[in-house]
Structure 1
């Protein structure tokens, strides 16, 4: 199957800045993560992203689950290295293995995640990679957490589950995502995105028959992504989800 992407060159990635952290040697069973500029029909510019392929992807002719990771406001811009500062792309760089394909796109400075653009990105990924359409997952932190909430409400048919971290959403819109299970995370000492901003959509989704839970970390501020993406229960929960 032909892949519609361009491999970013090293100078384009560097952007004049050093790596955020030295990558750890990958384990023998780790996948590979590389930088891409992905052509997406309907979008004027290619999408900059990290693309992770799990070990065995190239040799096993089967569809794989896909996780789309959405970064926060501090990682916007044109330097893709920023996206690997936190969460799954950071862990993949350090050698952590994941049992899914993973795309971590980057927003331009000042932009917000748009559900229609994410829907189009998913279409491009499904054209270029072997993806199980019933097991598309999304997670994001802060602005990215809001992005996955909005995506699930606008295009619930795209997603099997979401895991927003220190995110927020309009509680009046989330019932459109009642078929999309949610495992959300937040710190109760978050002064950037107050806990109530995620409690409200979780409660609203539960009230309209959705499956949603909120894991709250006592004494943790905005950086709830560190414990969330190290939660040993998160990966099994995501893998267990299949789109209804």
Structure 2
């Protein structure tokens, strides 16, 4: 009786764990399909990841225990390899999300994990486990998912088309969502094993066993609910700016540009501390990263590193300029990112209004931005030849076909070599395209650095001196 109940508890726990893995992997698959890389920037994602990792690891340990009881040693090796590779990927992803560390290991660990998936699938297909119908189906599912994911992953990395890269990224998210279904044959296998036990005697689960199962369910549901709340706060409704964001933005005056079509663009403007209408000042267009999107007309300043830097008292004295910080509404960009609404024409209209209102030196317009703002920087200088005196795109990308339009524009581009969000090749492609037709853009690439490169850019000497020395009048 004790052995039978122990098996019933074991299989019931396995069914519970695999059901939670199915729910959690499908849940995060849907989020990544809808919000893509932005999902990893939600505040509660790292906590959700820990919960998912614990549940996933426990489900694999149960699976290994099952193979051990059946003396299926190849399956033990394959499942253990899959577990170790998955935990390594969880760890790297966690530190990438929380502190932008270990990004240089992400590619190799992801490859290792995919190879372990394929190996695990092959073992379930060809070893003794193939005699169990549902395990064989699980093996085929793992094999096909692993091959599809690996193929798309490498095709994306070797593609030179940014638009094609985005399509492949979406396809990868679809494959990731489909991979959640791999849990189903494991669930059905444990259910079949459970039914084969003798059930002629009544049985009940202990309170401690029920408590463990309840705790696992609560961990999955609570973590997912908090992540949903975070998603709603950051995308479906406008989040309230933090005290820090309000403080940073307070040095800039708030404006809203409205064109003849009724389109609105919120923006912040910083005038030189000793602004004199009779003097002409450089115009610094500072474009924020993706964390600044909104309509509050506050958060974009904190998300625009160049704006923050130029607003310091020291730089106000050294580089007096009119600093323009527009805010892209949710779902929009400053250009260069397919499937996002391009508001760069609205930004250009707002620039004209600012120049009609304030004393701007039209020979010294500078555009700079990071990530989403880096794409916008490449877009503006590509669409408006010889309008800007200089540009500083950080971890962005553009259209190499427009390199000729940028030939006369002094450019200093920056990128992290291990960037997993915006591939470093996008900056390399732009710089190489301009150099191939005789241009001389400056380019700084930081080794062993991922997407969060601002601290490294900020410590790079001479960048502000360089950009403020540029002029169309030269």
Question: Considering the TM-score relative to the shorter chain, is it more than 0.5?
Answer: yes
Secondary structure in 2 matching 1:229: helix
Counterpart pick for 1:51 among 269, 275, 300: 269
Structure whose residues are more often helix by fraction: 2
> In the alignment, what sits opposite 2:333?
112
Once residues 401 and 441 of structure 2 are traced to their aligned partners in structure 1, the CA distance between those partners, rounded to angstroms, is 15
Once residues 294 and 467 of structure 2 are traced to their aligned partners in structure 1, the CA distance between those partners, rounded to angstroms, is 29
Change (3 A) 1:88 1:43: farther
CA contact (8 A) 2:254 2:297 kept: no
- Pairwise CA RMSD of aligned residues? 2.4
> In the alignment, what sits opposite 2:299?
82
Counterpart pick for 1:71 among 283, 288, 294: 288
Secondary structure in 1 matching 2:460: coil
**Offset at residue 52 of structure 1 (A):** 1.1
Counterpart pick for 1:19 among 213, 229, 243: 243
Once residues 222 and 126 of structure 1 are traced to their aligned partners in structure 2, the CA distance between those partners, rounded to angstroms, is 34
> In the alignment, what sits opposite 2:380?
151
CA contact (8 A) 2:381 2:388 kept: yes
Residues 205-235 of structure 1 show CA distances to partners (whole Å, capped at 9, x for unaligned) of 1111223111111111101122213433111
Secondary structure in 1 matching 2:400: coil
In structure 2, the gaps of 5 or more residues are: 1-237, 335-342
Change (3 A) 1:186 1:42: farther
Once residues 134 and 195 of structure 1 are traced to their aligned partners in structure 2, the CA distance between those partners, rounded to angstroms, is 31
TM-score by length of 2: 0.44
Counterpart pick for 2:437 among 193, 199, 208: 208
Counterpart pick for 1:162 among 391, 396, 399: 391
Once residues 89 and 19 of structure 1 are traced to their aligned partners in structure 2, the CA distance between those partners, rounded to angstroms, is 18
Residues 187-214 of structure 1 show CA distances to partners (whole Å, capped at 9, x for unaligned) of 1111101111100001101111223111
**Offset at residue 93 of structure 1 (A):** 5.7
**Offset at residue 40 of structure 1 (A):** 4.8
Secondary structure in 2 matching 1:39: strand
Once residues 96 and 165 of structure 1 are traced to their aligned partners in structure 2, the CA distance between those partners, rounded to angstroms, is 23
CA contact (8 A) 1:37 1:46 kept: no
Structure whose residues are more often strand by fraction: 1
**Offset at residue 21 of structure 1 (A):** 5.6
Higher relative contact order (CA 8 A, sep 6+): 1
CA contact (8 A) 2:277 2:358 kept: no
**Offset at residue 178 of structure 1 (A):** 1.0
Once residues 467 and 398 of structure 2 are traced to their aligned partners in structure 1, the CA distance between those partners, rounded to angstroms, is 21
Residues 141-170 of structure 1 show CA distances to partners (whole Å, capped at 9, x for unaligned) of 111111111111111232011000011112
Once residues 261 and 431 of structure 2 are traced to their aligned partners in structure 1, the CA distance between those partners, rounded to angstroms, is 32
